[in-house]
Amino acid sequence: VIIARLSSSKIFLVHLNAVNFLLASIALKPSTQTHHCATTVLVPHGLELGDIFKMSANTLAYPAMIGPSLLACDLSNMHSESNKVLQAGADYLHLDVMDGHFVPNLSWGPPVIKCLRQSLGKEVFLDVHLMVTDPEKWVDPMANAGASQFIFHIEATENPADLIASIKNKGMKVGIALKPKTPVSAVESLVENVDLVLVMTVEPGFGGQSFMADMMPKVAALRASHPALAIEVDGGLGPGTIDTAAAAGANWIVAGSSVFKSDAPGTVIKTLRESVEAIARSAQPSA
């Protein structure tokens, strides 16, 4: 790995593990793609090589991201409910869009998301999970509404590569979701072109279902083949199930009832985060 100091010609050759610190803690991106096991990373002026190794010992193999699902909130007070969980430590908000066709339930569409974006501001990350037929027709409306990430189901499209390109062209991050009966092989060829893979741990369409632990081999397979991938799990997540999901390698945790129905949502979010971080820390190779 080649690490170059900003405003300086100084270049270090360092162990690959240190890059995890730079990417996760300093929020830098590689200036080039990885080629032949070499990546160039720009380091802010003043950061010393010894600091990199010292701080990388406390870094995570991947970040823990907790996203309360608004499907479980008090829908008559969506704005205040959103602020409540954000102030309690949530990293993002998860919004389930259902059309009554791909799944049997109905929820909300672009107008609600647009209102939420306007009321919460541009900084809040809105993770929009579309459980819809023909997701292609919702790319423009969701982009215009202010969606940060557009997650579509692999089962709902015949041209996923084109859909991914369309979503990216609109400036949104891209996620791809798997229903419980869909194997990981259905998305393996697409993983490198998306930002996140969502493994459903319930049948999509309704909140409050029980966590399906038998989905964890999918998560484990994705983590083994893609160590830095954002892997989201959705359905039945809470303090009683998080350890199982975290152990498999999930790091984006969608939690609905366990957060919104709790008298102490901050404590629940903290519990979920700590479980993921414990596994992510142990997964970080030593230098």
Residues annotated as catalytic are 96, 234
Q: Cite the beta strand spans of 145-249 per DSSP E.
A: 149-153, 173-178, 196-200, 230-234
Q: What are phi and psi of 4, to 5 degrees?
A: -110, 135
Helix (H) or strand (E) holding 131, with range, is strand 126-131
Beta bridge partners, 178, equal 199
Residue with tokens 């939420």: 116
Q: List the alpha helices (DSSP H) in the chain.
A: 18-25, 49-56, 78-87, 110-120, 139-145, 160-169, 216-225, 242-248, 257-260, 265-282
Q: Is 225 helix (H, G, I), strand (E, B) or coil?
A: helix
Distance CA 219, CA 249 (A): 6
Residue 199 contacts residue 173 (beta carbons within 8 Å): no
Q: Is 121 helix (H, G, I), strand (E, B) or coil?
A: coil
